[in-house]
Every structure is written in structure tokens, then in C-alpha cells.
Copies of this chain bind each other. A is one copy, B any other.
Amino acid sequence: MAPLPPPSFQPRGSTAEVEGGLQFQPKFDADGLIGAIVSDTRSGEVLMFAFMNAEALRLTLTSGFAHFWSRSRAKLWKKGEESGNLLCVSEVRTDCDQDVIWLRVHVQGAGAACHTGSRSCFYRKLTLPPDPAGVIELARV
């Protein structure tokens, strides 16, 4: 059998088509990027947020492993390629205006989605209210 063709992202339709339709018409921003929220399929915990360009999104959808575009390094990035903490994608959703992606994943390897070694990049919460000087301290969760 011939391999499947790469995903073809359809042009944006009307607001009604984008919001109510059943065709994937992702919106990339002026830099060619779309934001991607990543959460743990089982626990629901938000693990990270990163950006994808069209190529990263295509590779994610065809390989089943999350790929991103690193803005700081200006390069394509297969998450976990070096650490082994690959993100195996179980579901991909998009939002009403199709300008954000939500990936539900299983983290492989050591189970750390964050480069600091934490399970999630969101390992600190804000302690509220702010102190008398208005400063907000963080606490590890």
C-alpha cells in the first residue's frame, strides 16, 4: 500500500464554518505558529504549552509523537528526542476558532514533560493574595 499523504490543512472558511464545521482549518499566526496545550491523558494535568509551525503539526499528526517549533532555537523540535520523554499523543482537539491545539498525551521515559525534570512545567502556583508590597510568591505544588 502507498503511504498516506501528509495532512493537508484546509484554508480558513467563514466564521460559521470554522466554529461549527467539521473540517480542520487551523489558523497559524503572523509568525506561522499555532499554540499547543499539552495535558496528561489520564490525570488531566496540564503539562506544558509550546508552539508548532505547520511542519511540526504535520509531524505530530503523522508520527503520533508531539513535535514543536522552538522559538528560542528557531528549529523544529521532537519533544523528548534527547531525554526519552517522548509525548505519545492519544487525542488532538482544536478550539472554537481553530487557533489553538490541545494534545492529550502519555509521557514516555521518565515521565517528565518539563526540561527541569518535573512531570509538568506548571510545578508552581501563585500564593494569593499578594503580600503587603504587592509581591506574589510562588509555591511548589
Contact = CB atoms under 8 A, between A and B. Distances in A.
Interface of A: 4-10, 19-24, 35, 37, 39, 43-46, 48-49, 61-62, 91-96, 100, 102, 114-116, 118, 121-126, 128-130, 132-141
A41 to B, nearest CB: 11
Contacts of A124: 22, 93-94
A94 B96 CA distance: 24
29 contacts: A6-B130, A7-B136, A8-B133, A8-B136, A9-B136, A10-B135, A21-B138, A22-B124, A22-B140, A23-B135, A23-B137, A23-B138, A24-B136, A24-B138, A39-B39, A44-B45, A46-B46, A46-B102, A48-B95, A49-B100, A61-B128, A61-B136, A91-B125, A92-B128, A94-B126, A95-B122, A96-B121, A96-B123, A100-B121
